Structure 1
Amino acid sequence: MRFSKSLIILALSASLAACGDSDNNEVEVTDPVMPVMSYEFTVQVTNLTNAQPLSPIAAIAHSEGMLWQIGEPASAALELMAEGGDNSELLATDFAMASSSAESPLPPGEQVTLMLSTEQLDSLKISLATMLVNTNDAFTGLNAIDVSSLAVNESLSRTSFAYDAGTEANSEAQGTIPGPADSGEGYNEMRDDINRVAMHPGVVSQDDGLTNSVLTSQHKFDNPVARITITRTQ
């Protein structure tokens, strides 16, 4: 079969035009957007004391830093919480990757659950702190507990002891305790104690001879003062 030159030229022109259209309509391919992985934990706290409400509990997720160290001075944020129950500065600490706070104090025998969510699991730690409010500056909590190896639905449980912030003398005197036993002063920036964190020596009380104490034997506590269960939920 023979084709005329004019037909061949028309066919070539159509082919080139089609190629040109194909080049102009190329679809740009972009890399797929990977979803951000989220790691979630619940922190359940139970108050084991007889008559020591715990101030609103502060919990943070972090990979470095500590909320306190035994034998070292308390930070300003820890002092604020340990003397008056104000956890706002602990929650805003510069090494916190995520934070959560209870809405109200935790009465004796009760429990509360907080939630933390973060995008990092490597070297992940959880810390929490709360004041024993019928004291001058006693607090309890967990300090930098490693949760990076927890699998989904796996838990770890710890009990916590009472610590002394060392920022306010344990006078138990009227007007110095912010809890319901006294409704006195909370935070005071003056430090009149040993100025280092230590294990708390315990409440003395008026029943045991501290005549100016507003506390009674019911405000005494034995260690541990709280039970904490951390569960990875996602």
Structure 2
Amino acid sequence: MQYLAKHYKKALVLTLPFLLAACGDDDTREVIVEVEVPAEIPDPVPVSYDVTVTNLTNGQPVSPPAVVLHSEGTLWEVGAVASVELERIAEVGDSADFLTLGDASAGGVGPITPGDSQTISVTINDITDANLTIAAMLGNTNDAFTGINSWSLANLEVGATYTTVSPAYDAGTEANTESAATVPGPAANGEGFSPSRDDTGFISMHPGVVSSDDGLTTSALTVEHKFDNPVIRIQITRTE
């Protein structure tokens, strides 16, 4: 009944005349009938953002970024165990499962090569204080990723822009051997996601690429694949 009370309003309708026969006399009376009329449901108000990600590295392709709007909690954080959804991004750049975790989401199209940018548009209805989480892989690594975690958009007005940068993180799900068999990016074309975990087991700052040039004998990477932080720039503009 509470649901009906919220979504319906009462209206008085026409007087209903009717004839009663009593003791041979005609008697016309008025009866008020209450009818429930559906209340108007307002159209949803879209709240939209353009998120531009720029690759700041020299030799690391950035996987199509996963952009997720959510109301509560965190989707990843330093010191925590990476979810399987994040592990798939960090090890192979697959964001399909991660994009299902929020109230609204959008994914990039194709990798972002060094120096290039990509803009992803995302819309959520009726929520102006959503949190924004972004995650993307550094392709020529075992399980390095970058992004932001649960940024509040509550104070971002239409037409306003936030700009920030992000370092590289280590998902802690795969050892940093840098081998040709385990790095999926174009430098090695190794395997992608592996369900087995053989590293620290928690998210941390990435120690960086060592490379074969600097003495890691298992590495298929060179000094060209090294990176400094930050590795991406993120620009968030509220468009409506």
Q: Do Structure 1 and Structure 2 share a fold, with TM-score over 0.5?
A: yes
Higher strand share: 2
Q: 1:30 to 1:89 in 2, by over 3 A?
A: closer
Counterpart Cα distance in 1 of 2:41 and 2:201: 51
Aligned-residue offset at 1:67: 1.9
Is 2:105 the counterpart of 1:86?
no
The equivalent of 1:60 in structure 2 is 68
Give the aligned CA root-mean-square deviation in angstroms.
2.2
Counterpart Cα distance in 1 of 2:225 and 2:100: 31
2:201 is aligned, of 171, 181, 195, to 195
The equivalent of 1:206 in structure 2 is 212
* Structure 1: runs of 5 or more not aligned: 1-15
Counterpart Cα distance in 2 of 1:163 and 1:171: 16
The equivalent of 1:99 in structure 2 is 105
Counterpart Cα distance in 1 of 2:191 and 2:127: 40
Task: Find the structure with the greater CA-based Rg.
Answer: 1
Is 2:124 the counterpart of 1:118?
yes
* Structure 2: runs of 5 or more not aligned: 1-16, 18-27
Higher helix share: 1
Matched to 1:196, the amino acid is F
Aligned-residue offset at 1:35: 2.4
Q: After superposition, where does 1:1-234 map in structure 2 within 5 Å?
A: 31-93=39-101, 96-234=102-240
Aligned-residue offset at 1:32: 4.0
What is the identity percentage for the equivalent residue pairs of Structure 1 and Structure 2? 48
How many residues align? The count is 213
SS in 1 for 2:172: coil
Counterpart Cα distance in 1 of 2:44 and 2:179: 53
Q: State TM-score, norm by structure 1.
A: 0.85
Matched to 2:227, the amino acid is F
Counterpart Cα distance in 2 of 1:106 and 1:36: 33
